[in-house]
């Protein structure tokens, strides 16, 4: 298996809306205004329609209806609207079966939404400044799995051997077999789509948060949310829970074992919202 | 017909056409019980060991926790005519992330609570496959009492 072949197959992904790149640019540009963001999103009918549906969904439970992108930005702020728009644009890639990882259709998408909501909850609780970035990174972090999925099935026995006999983690086994793991591959996708440095870094380090170059706790939060999803069993396929536990990442964010249990218990309250968000982004 | 036992959920049935199934256990524990004489079976899928973490959540959904969910699984089966000494009891799940230690190892704690409760109540486990790093799915056919364990990526075995 050639690493170059795998990297070339990034082009088989359904490209995200060209709007994404512009949205990312606006959100990271301190000179941009709300009006700039509204103009870009309004341009895409499908995303506008789904964005408004999401804003008006039971999850947010707003007293008044949001009727326009302008209102959404005023109410939620630019960061959150950008995240919600991102949710709609990435769905297509995540929804199909990932049979290489033994994941039924929709499971990877469910995991993306669940970990994004959990990461957002932790980021808000810890009052981190980069909630939207953390949300978006959590949503997109497994995009490399979508690419690697086509190669995994035929090499399953080689991967399992490395897990079982050499006690490798799944990403270590991917690297040993393919020369690249799904986190690094996801980062390459993000680079190809011109995502900003922070987003590329968070995708690259979602299983190795302590190696992130982002100076704040973002990588740790993305990592913890992903770990919690695995423990709950959301989006877990043939890779199982074979990823490494980094206690230092949890300690850095300042979460106790009880805090983790609280978040797991809180997942049950989110199940309906997650279903609703999955269905919203299926329409259009 | 497949009847899904969700996350933090329990279902008991004596309907011969029903197959109970609970997917993707992760660190959660799945317990299946079956009485072949009464043809009654049930599955519980709990997420966390003890309700002391949130009594309010346990009131809203006792199946979230081992200590509140396990007694309800047995009581519900008894209502349908199951007898304790005839029950086949299966415990699976409780997986862990690699190198997960101490209190953060929820899978291990989930397993500890069921062992403690079964020991106290003299419940003998017929089969268990717990821990490790794999994701499991548990299925119970009410008619035949057939119990199946699927490990993601590694196939299905009849227990």
Encode pLDDT of B84-110 as tens digits.
Answer: 999 999 999 999 999 998 899 999 999
Q: Do B153 and A231 touch (CB under 8 A)?
A: no
A51 within 8 A of A41, measured Cβ to Cβ: yes
The domains located in chain B, with CATH, are: 2-158 (3.30.1330.200)
Please tell me the distance from the alpha carbon of residue A266 to that of residue A191, in angstroms, as a whole number.
34
Q: Is residue A39 part of a domain?
A: no
Please tell me the distance from the alpha carbon of residue A217 to that of residue A248, in angstroms, as a whole number.
11
Give the CA dihedral A18, A146, A142, B101, nearest 10 degrees. Answer: 180
Per the rule left: phi > 0, alpha: psi between -120 and 50, beta: everything else, B24 is left
**Which residues 240-259 in chain A show a CB within 8 A of chain B?**
240-245, 247, 250, 257-258
User: What CATH number has the domain bearing residue A121?
Assistant: 1.10.3210.10
Mean pLDDT of B111-117: 98
Residues in chain A with CB shorter than 8 Å from the CB of B102 are: 257
Q: Do A232 and B106 touch (CB under 8 A)?
A: no
Q: Which carries the bigger pLDDT value, residue A195 or residue A143? A: A143
Q: Is residue A111 part of a domain?
A: yes
Residues in chain A with CB shorter than 8 Å from the CB of B53 are: 258, 261-262, 265
A233 in contact with B at a CB cutoff of 8 Å? yes
B128 within 8 A of B114, measured Cβ to Cβ: no
- Residue-wise pLDDT tens digits, A225-271: 999 999 999 999 999 999 999 999 999 999 999 999 999 999 998 89
Q: Do B104 and A261 touch (CB under 8 A)?
A: no
Q: Is residue A45 part of a domain?
A: no
Q: Is residue A43 part of a domain?
A: no
Please give the tally of structural domains in chain A. Answer: 1
Q: Is residue A84 part of a domain?
A: no
Q: Do A102 and B98 touch (CB under 8 A)?
A: no
- Residue A195 sits at φ, ψ, to 5 deg, of -70, 160
B27 in contact with A at a CB cutoff of 8 Å? yes
pLDDT at A284: 44
Which pTM was predicted?
0.92
- Is the predicted pLDDT of residue A5 greater than 70, yes or no? yes
**Chain B residue at shortest CA distance from A235:** B24
Q: Is residue A145 part of a domain?
A: yes
B97 in contact with A at a CB cutoff of 8 Å? yes
Q: Is residue A90 part of a domain?
A: no
CA torsion sign for B60, B61, B66, B69 is: positive
Q: What ipTM describes this predicted complex?
A: 0.95
Residues in chain B with CB shorter than 8 Å from the CB of A227 are: 97
Interface test mutation site (partner B, options A172, A240, A245, A256, max chain B beta carbons within 10 A): A240
- Residue-wise pLDDT tens digits, A55-99: 888 878 888 899 999 999 888 888 788 878 877 777 878 888 888
- Is the predicted pLDDT of residue A1 greater than 60, yes or no? no
Q: Do A245 and B102 touch (CB under 8 A)?
A: no
Q: Is residue A89 part of a domain?
A: no
Per-residue confidence band for A281, with pLDDT thresholds at 50, 70 and 90: low
Average confidence score pLDDT of chain A: 89
- Residue-wise pLDDT tens digits, B121-148: 999 999 999 999 999 999 999 999 999 9
Domain residue limits at A233: 3-13+95-280
Considering only the beta carbons, identify the residue of B23, B25, B98 that sits closest to A245: B98
């Amino acid at each position: 298996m050639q690493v170059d072949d795998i990297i070339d197959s990034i082009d088989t992904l359904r490209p995200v809306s060209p709007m994404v790149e512009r949205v990312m640019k606006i959100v990271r540009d301190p000179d941009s205004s709300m009006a700039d963001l509204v103009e870009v999103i309004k341009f895409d009918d499908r995303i506008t329609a789904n964005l408004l549906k999401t804003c008006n969904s039971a999850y947010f439970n707003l007293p008044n209806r949001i009727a326009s992108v302008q209102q959404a930005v005023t109410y939620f702020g630019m960061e959150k609207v950008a995240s919600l728009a991102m949710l709609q644009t990435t769905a297509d890639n995540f929804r199909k079966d990932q049979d290489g990882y033994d994941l039924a259709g929709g499971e990877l998408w469910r995991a993306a939404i669940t970990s994004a909501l959990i990461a957002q909850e932790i980021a808000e609780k810890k009052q981190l400044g980069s909630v939207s970035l953390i949300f978006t990174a959590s949503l997109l972090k497994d995009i490399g799995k979508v690419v690697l999925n086509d190669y995994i099935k035929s090499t399953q026995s080689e991967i399992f051997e490395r897990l079982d006999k050499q006690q490798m983690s799944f990403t270590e086994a991917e690297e040993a077999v393919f020369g690249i793991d799904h986190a690094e591959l996801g980062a390459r996708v993000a680079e190809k789509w011109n995502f900003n440095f922070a987003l590329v870094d968070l995708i690259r380090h979602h299983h190795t948060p302590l190696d992130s170059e982002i100076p704040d706790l973002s990588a740790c939060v993305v990592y913890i949310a992903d770990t919690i999803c695995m423990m709950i069993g959301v989006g877990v396929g043939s890779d199982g829970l074979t990823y490494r536990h980094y206690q230092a990442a949890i300690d850095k964010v300042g979460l106790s074992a009880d805090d983790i249990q609280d978040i797991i218990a809180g997942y049950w309250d989110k199940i309906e919202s997650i279903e609703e968000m999955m269905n919203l982004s299926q329409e259009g | 017909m497949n009847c899904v036992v969700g996350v933090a959920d329990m279902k008991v049935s004596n309907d011969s056409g029903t197959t109970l199934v609970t997917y993707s256990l992760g660190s959660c524990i799945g317990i299946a019980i079956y009485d072949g004489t009464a043809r009654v079976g049930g599955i519980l899928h709990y997420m966390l060991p003890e309700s002391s973490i949130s009594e309010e959540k346990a009131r809203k959904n006792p199946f979230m926790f081992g200590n509140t969910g396990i007694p309800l699984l047995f009581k519900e089966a008894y209502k349908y005519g199951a007898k304790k000494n005839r029950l086949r009891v299966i415990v699976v799940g409780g997986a862990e992330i690699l190198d997960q230690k101490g209190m953060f190892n929820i899978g291990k704690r989930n397993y500890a609570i069921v062992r403690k409760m079964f020991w106290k109540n003299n419940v003998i486990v017929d089969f268990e496959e717990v821990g490790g790093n794999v994701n499991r799915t548990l299925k119970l056919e009410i008619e035949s009492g057939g119990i199946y364990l699927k490990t993601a990526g590694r196939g299905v075995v009849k227990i």
